[in-house]
């Protein structure tokens, strides 16, 4: 577990790099079961093939988060994105890390990005 703000920033940047720069073809396509997504805690991104990051979130179960639906899919549909052009990038986080850490990592990543489907996080003071 990161012990200070600097380590937390580094970990958040690694996670962001993983979800933002994984080749689109290696991200998980949309389907009904999401069987290829691990049922572990993690950070995820809904990505568009050319428009980049649409939404970033954290969850206790990556697979569970999508099997029940996700508001970003509805927004992508309303924006008339083709389902073939939207995929999910996931970054599992070790089980021993706590939910507060996931929340902190997500907040750091959201402050770094401008994903259009996320509510904007106020700047850190």
Each residue's pLDDT tens digit, 56-107 = 999 989 999 998 889 898 889 889 999 899 999 999 987 556 777 888 888 8
Listed in sequence order, the residues at least 6 apart from 20 whose beta carbon sits closer than 8 Å to its beta carbon are 45, 47, 52, 53, 89, 113
Instruction: Inform me whether the pLDDT recorded for 53 exceeds 70.
Output: yes
Long-range pairs for 96-105 at CB < 8 Å and ≥24 separation?
96/1, 97/1, 97/41, 98/1, 99/41, 99/60, 101/1, 101/2, 102/41, 102/42, 102/43, 102/58, 102/59, 103/58, 104/8, 104/12, 105/8, 105/11, 105/12, 105/15, 105/43, 105/58
pTM: 0.85
**All domains of the chain in start order, with CATH:** 5-112 (3.40.1440)
């Amino acid at each position: 577990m990161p012990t200070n703000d600097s380590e937390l920033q580094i970990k958040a940047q690694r996670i962001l790099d993983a979800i933002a720069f994984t080749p689109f073809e290696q991200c998980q396509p949309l389907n009904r079961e999401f069987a290829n997504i691990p049922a572990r805690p993690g950070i995820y991104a809904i990505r568009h093939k050319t428009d980049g990051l649409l939404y970033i979130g954290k969850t206790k179960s990556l697979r569970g988060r999508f099997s029940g639906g996700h508001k970003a899919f509805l927004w992508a549909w309303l924006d008339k994105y083709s389902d073939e052009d939207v995929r999910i990038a996931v970054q599992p986080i070790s089980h021993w890390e706590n939910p507060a850490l996931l929340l902190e990592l997500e907040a750091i990543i959201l402050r770094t990005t401008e994903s259009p489907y996320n509510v904007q996080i106020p700047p850190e003071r």
